[in-house]
Structure 1
């Protein structure tokens, strides 16, 4: 079995629908027959809640905090993985709110997630990492572990500065670790087609990322309903008109990572 394809869904700007994009991309890959591990690296635990696992957010140790902050507990990661109907979940935990300073003290502060995932990643075709909405050690860990990123963004001018900050951060990581983090695509999310600014910003993003896939997801209540019910659109809102967008993302990722659709 080849190494899993790993993807960090990242944007340090909050409110861009990052978790919704990550869950629905994972759902699309599951629909294509792939085994997916979803890593909720956000201390807020939104993905853990949106996948119907809210109760584990307050669970006693060991948690994701422990396996990231204590090298002697890395091999306990398999105890944390939970089964969901569409994907396996490595949930966040309330203790993750204190992990940033702990990672700062680590000898290999940006590599702890990569070292931890080595214990479980070979069971999966894809690892999807839902990043926190800020730049710091957790974001570094996600980007280093994946070395591929999918960027959710809003169709508004504030996204220009967000892109600039993210790419400055990625450039610094590339230099510090001698790696090359690749952009696999941009998902312009929560688009209100009635707003002229949205159309103008979409054009700007498509021009700025002329060699990178850009997908457009319209604002739809079905996206939030699906998350409220604990799954992706593919399970909870199969008639949503936004499903074809996520299907295309899944198909494109398979091409990029040289994966074949694994449907029976």
Structure 2
């Protein structure tokens, strides 16, 4: 199997990016794949949720160092930590400075791609948890992955955020002459009200038949898994949303056949 890279992106806060990233990574690992989860969000929610709080403000080499200095991108493998389910590259608090510092840097949008090129382990999947905004870090993730898994709430406030994300994907694709496209959408905390129903219809209309929408409902077990530093697949409590994340993983497996 060739390596599949997925950027989990939506610049709207509270869309469920990190929950999606961790549980999709867990689902893929449960299916026997080698998975690397990269926390590219300066807020470090995945880093915290997977139990790597100490890495967030370490004085040792960090993802900030690798991305800010083009000469350090080949040291990316040194950042990998071995979680019980999958491997992890933690975020670092200094990454908040990257948005400004990369603005005028040479090959600023390609630093993460260069870092991935230095990977020695042949992961089946690389999952990148993106920041809740648009900027150099998200551009890096989109260009490095070329495939985008979009988490979104089923509220009309999500419409504008997704339209802006689609515009940015189109701009990057044209600028760098590459193909970048959404592969699926995960609708988070789906409810049974009319607004949610309309948004699910809107997702289907905008994304088209080739991009499936997976519905995840709010479950306390997902938060408890987070509190235990694991995905729902390594959490002992039963949860009906486990099947949904497994469906996402099964779908992502099929991308290698395209």
| Structure 1 and Structure 2 fold alike (TM over 0.5) | yes
CA deviation after TM superposition for structure 1 residue 78, in Å: 1.7
Residue in structure 2 matched with residue 34 of structure 1 by the alignment = 33
Secondary structure, aligned partner of 1:89: strand
Q: Which residue of 2 aligns with 1:262?
A: none
SS in 1 for 2:38: strand
Q: Which runs of 5+ in 1 are unaligned?
A: 260-264
SS in structure 2 at match of 1:29: helix
In the alignment, the residues of structure 2 paired with residue 79 and residue 209 of structure 1 have an alpha-carbon distance, to the nearest angstrom, of 38
Instruction: Tell me how far 1:59 sits from its aligned partner.
Output: 0.5
2:138 maps to 1:139: yes
CA contact (8 A) 1:57 1:94 kept: yes
- TM-score, with length taken from structure 2: 0.96
SS state of the match for residue 108, structure 2?
Answer: coil
Q: Say yes or no: does 1:62 pair with 2:52.
A: no
Distance 1:232 1:110 in 2: 30
Note if contact 1:77-1:116 (Cα within 8 Å) is conserved in structure 2: yes
Contact 1:65/1:96 (8 A) holds in 2: yes
Matching residue of 2:197: 199
Match of residue 215 from structure 1? 214
Query: Would the aligned equivalents of 2:130 and 2:141 in 1 still touch at CA under 8 Å?
Result: yes
Aligned residues: 257
Contact kept? 1:121, 1:127, Cα under 8 Å: no
**CA–CA distance in 2 between the matches of 1:72 and 1:161?**
38
In structure 2, the residue matched to 1:108 is 107
The answer to whether the 8 Å contact 1:4/1:121 transfers is: no
- Aligned-pair CA distance for 1:43: 0.2
d(CA) in 2 for partners of 1:140 and 1:238? 37
SS of residue paired to 1:135: coil
Task: State the superposition RMSD in angstroms.
Answer: 1.4
User: Counterparts of 2:155 and 2:99 in 1: how far apart (Å)?
Assistant: 30
The alignment partner of 1:129 has SS state of strand
Q: State how far apart, in whole Å, the 1-side matches of 2:197 and 2:61 are.
A: 47
TM-score when scaled to structure 1?
A: 0.94
Q: In the superposition, relative to structure 1, how do residues 156 and 9 fare at CA in structure 2: closer, same or farther (>3 Å)?
A: same
CA contact (8 A) 1:4 1:122 kept: no
1:185 is aligned to 2:177: no
Give unpaired runs (5+ residues) of structure 2: none
CA contact (8 A) 1:154 1:188 kept: yes
Q: Secondary structure at the match of 2:73?
A: helix
Q: Could you tell which deviates more after superposition, 202-211 or 161-170?
A: 202-211
Query: What secondary structure does 1:23 align onto?
Result: helix
